[in-house]
Amino acid sequence: MQLPTRTAVVTGAASGIGLALSARFAAAGGGVIMADIDGEALHRRAAELTAQGARVTPVTADLTDPDAVERLADTAFDHLGDIDVVCNNAGVLGPVGQPLWEVPLAHMRQVFEVNHWAHVLVARAFVPRLLERGRPAHLIHTASMSAFVVGAGSAAYAASKHADLAVARSLRADLRGTGIRVSVLCPGRVDTPMVQGLTAPRGAGGDTSVSAEEVAGLVWEALGSDRFYLFSNSDAPLRLRDQFDDVGRHLSLPPPSPEEEPWPAPKATTVVIKH
């Protein structure tokens, strides 16, 4: 499928992968809508790109608010006319290094609001309009290697990324046979402000790191193709193999025998009551 890649909407565009994606599209001469909740940082970065000749429009938006997402979609189509790429990229890291039972529920809900529900809202706002226009387009969902590999102390982030992977897979199935492609971006460690100074929880981090610009280049090369999974880090094959080997090991385990006692019988205890 030929994709003109003239115009793009990028969420989470004030820094990291979102900023790199915005710069990559703008460098190719396309108009870009840059959306982020951090209005000050967003307008500063947009001004820097504009000074380099880019055609970018910053839109401050809370993507967890359905009305704000609808306004973003209205603005995007009003400014750009047709949209070739939607990068559903906004995300937060949330609490790491804490076991599930110690993570404040409010913090866990906040992670899901941004990493999962905001992506759902963006897809629901943009996909029907893209279908109505009937042009080729590409929807990029930024998930993570944490959608596959989960370590200790990462329940909130990993669970939200698992949910986003499921949404992307469902969208791909829903849009099969249309002109809209879907890809899920699953980077490992990326040198962005979100992870600077962070020590990855046990079992959650990989052995490699890439730049946000390298990730943006990977996305650019995949546009218009039917590539669904986009892995940016060279250690992805090994990390994925370890996960699926573990699944396969459990599939091959024999069922418990009828004679096997699944739970040990409780030991009798003597309680001494003092009067």
The neighbour count for residue 134, using CB atoms within 10 Å, is 10
Nearest to 138 by CA among 184, 74, 187: 184
Q: Judge whether 179 and 136 are in contact, CB under 8 Å.
A: yes
Determine the Cα–Cα distance for residues 126 and 71; give it in Å rounded to an integer: 11
Q: At CA 157, angle to CA 238 and CA 73, rounded to 5?
A: 110
Determine the Cα–Cα distance for residues 151 and 201; give it in Å rounded to an integer: 6
The neighbour count for residue 272, using CB atoms within 10 Å, is 4
Q: Which two tokens stand for residue 132?
A: 């109505």
Q: Which two tokens stand for residue 156?
A: 């909130």
Q: Judge whether 46 and 60 are in contact, CB under 8 Å.
A: no
The amino acid that residue 243 corresponds to is Q
For 140, list phi and psi in degrees, rounded to 5. Answer: -110, 120
Q: At CA 85, angle to CA 11 and CA 37, rounded to 5?
A: 10
Q: Judge whether 124 and 72 are in contact, CB under 8 Å.
A: no
The neighbour count for residue 167, using CB atoms within 10 Å, is 20
Among residues 25, 112, 126, 157, which one is catalytic?
157
Q: What is the DSSP letter of 242?
A: H
Task: Verify whether residue 157 is a known catalytic residue.
Answer: yes
CA dihedral 32, 33, 35, 39 (to 10 degrees): 90
**Residues carrying an active site annotation:** 157
